[in-house]
Structure 1
Amino acid sequence: MRNWLIFSLLAAIITTGAVAQDERLRRLDAGTDANPWEAVGRLDIGGSGFCTGALISPDLVLTAAHCLFDKRTGERINHEDVEFLAGWRNGRASAYRMVRRAVVHPDYVYDGNVSSDRVRNDIALLELIRPIQNGTIEPFETADRPGQGERVGVVSYARDRSEAPSLQEVCTVIARQEGVLVTSCTVDFGSSGAPIFTFADGKAHIVSVVSAKAEMNGEHVSLGTSLSEPLAFLRQELDAGGGLFVSGQAVTARIAVGGGRKETGAKFIRPEE
């Protein structure tokens, strides 16, 4: 209860001013605006929907864990049916790759209840069948989670902008609590897994991925995962040979991660891919 009250009071103080200073979404159709974001792509999920993902190395794509689950059955999707379309814009991609292996955070549970515990662990790492090395697509580096009040940005596809991504270069970190990053960034269905960036020294670094949208005190906010520690676990699982899909489930080298369930007080809106 104490954590819920602190979070709610914090949101009431900060949210209104943060949203008022946000930059509008800018569609990245072509040219110099789009070129720096070629490593962000659309993830086509077996013909049933899509998410957003981003390259963090030539053969690794970072996205949200729930993108790999069937929202009707709750079962894990065969990641071999997932395709990464790097820099997808208006019917063409800069590179096309299927997924060879995929790992989700060891503590992630897809149970239909969008809670702070689920958001905190909503992260997945996909290994492509072969690296993307065409000279025009540069993977993004990652960085530590930004502090409250810091400026961030997001590049995402969404239901009403599925043919080209949009950039919101200025939005704000409203709060950080128990591994959940709350921002004023604009997201919608399809934005799941989209990279959230900081822009230190004029260079974009991924600091979180979009898990869900929510409402706090009547304002729309986006919820992102913690990144650095969970991402390290996912890399270890791949290094240990995990992430293969066998008989309807992914086989991983499970690594125990602690953490109890704690709520934030935000009203979560269940995302759709």
Structure 2
Amino acid sequence: MRFFLSVLVFLAGFASVGYSEEHSGLRAMITGDDSRGWEAVGRLNIAGNSMCTGALIAPDLVLTAAHCMFDKDSRKQVDATKIEFLAGWRGGRATAYARVKRAVVHPDYTYAVNSSDIRVRNDIAVLQLTRPIQKTSITPFATGPRPRKGATVGVVSYARGRSDSPSIEESCRVLARQSGNLIMSCDVDFGASGAPVFNMENGNPQIVSVVSAMAEVQGRKVALGMSLAEPLEVVLAKLKETEGPFQKVEPASQRIILRGPLDHTGAKFVRP
């Protein structure tokens, strides 16, 4: 089935509005019992004025979307040391905090604002933390192959109106796969950029994509992500190649990292 995407362009920094879970499979994870097993998903506070979602794939590595690493005004990559990962952030507290030492984006990713110029396929980044997160309650996620069309997947994310605790949608579907992109029925909003998309393998969640954008398909809101395996392999190889002394990116902002609510999000939800 061929899909035609009509764009919903929602720029970052809009004022917070009320969030409704009507007609959505989203479930807020308010208590420790709700979020048990998902503590490796966390909120990324970026340069003190925006947020995205990320997930640990190793004790010191966070997977997220590449576009989260760019300042929307200057269009330059933000200083990685101005980013903080809040693992399991819920109710004003995190299971663990760690600052970012460096950020590696896919070498073929180009940041763009205009919807006609933006691509989803290589919209991934891996952030290396200043120290590994080593708590028994936090287990980094494995990654897996791209899901088939029709597969049931899930998303754990933070977003506008629900930035103080994660929400999970356990039963959205892969509607189509196009040129390395995935079109999914998952409910996403600002801040969900970088959120892990999970497939269950023998009862264990594996990350198979990262939320990059939202759009409309035949009048229906959808989430867009990428087939993860190949782009992630490239980014991890680049990370390994650049081990050692790291040249910091020229900072686009000198704002202080905040741990409170951040409803102006850095997510760029546009068509690929």
What TM-score comes out, normalization by structure 2 length? Answer: 0.82
| Correspondence 1:49 to 2:45 | no
Cα pair distance change 1:67/1:195, threshold 3 Å: same
- Please show how residues 8-157 of structure 1 align to structure 2 within 5 Å: 8=4, 24-114=25-115, 118-157=119-158
Q: Which residue identity lines up with residue 87 of structure 2 in the other structure?
A: A
Which of residues 3, 10, 19 in structure 2 aligns to 1:7? 3
Whether the aligned pair in 2 keeps the contact of 1:149 and 1:174 (CA below 8 Å) is yes
**Using the alignment, how far apart are the partners of 1:122 and 1:99 within structure 2?**
19
Q: Is the 8 A contact 2:53 2:64 kept in 1?
A: yes
Amino acid at match of 1:193: G
In the alignment, the residues of structure 2 paired with residue 115 and residue 129 of structure 1 have an alpha-carbon distance, to the nearest angstrom, of 36
Rate the CA distance shift 1:104–1:115 in 2: closer, same or farther, 3 A. Answer: farther
User: Is the deviation greater in 23-32 or in 230-239?
Assistant: 23-32
Distance in 2 of aligned mates of 1:78 and 1:72: 14
C-alpha separation between the residues in 2 aligned to 1:165 and 1:178?
30
Find the aligned partners of 1:245 and 1:48 in 2 and give their Cα distance: 23
What is the deviation of 1:118?
1.6
Distance 1:122 1:115, change over 3 A: farther
What is the deviation of 1:199?
1.1
- The AA in structure 2 aligned to 1:241 is T
Matched letter for residue 269 of structure 2: P
Deviation at 1:7, TM superposition (A): 3.1
Q: Give the secondary structure class of the aligned counterpart of 1:164.
A: strand
Correspondence for 1:261: none
Measure, in 2, the Cα distance between the counterparts of 1:127 and 1:224.
22
Distance 1:197 1:115 in 2: 28
Q: Please report the TM-score for the alignment, with normalisation by the length of structure 1.
A: 0.82
Distance 2:66 2:110 in 1: 9
Identity across matched positions, percent: 54
Q: How much does 1:99 deviate? A: 0.5
Superposition deviation, residue 271 in structure 1: 2.4
Q: Which amino acid aligns with 1:218?
A: G
Task: Provide the residue aligned with 1:16 in structure 2.
Answer: none
Answering whether residue 253 of structure 2 is matched by residue 248 of structure 1, we say no
Q: Which is richer in helix?
A: 1
Change (3 A) 1:115 1:176: farther
Runs of 5+ in structure 2 lacking a partner? 6-22, 252-266
Aligned pair count? 238
Superposed CA RMSD in Å reads 2.2
Alignment CA distance shift 1:31-1:66 (3 Å): same
CA deviation digits over 1:148-182, x for unaligned, max 9?
A: 00000000000110000000000000000111111
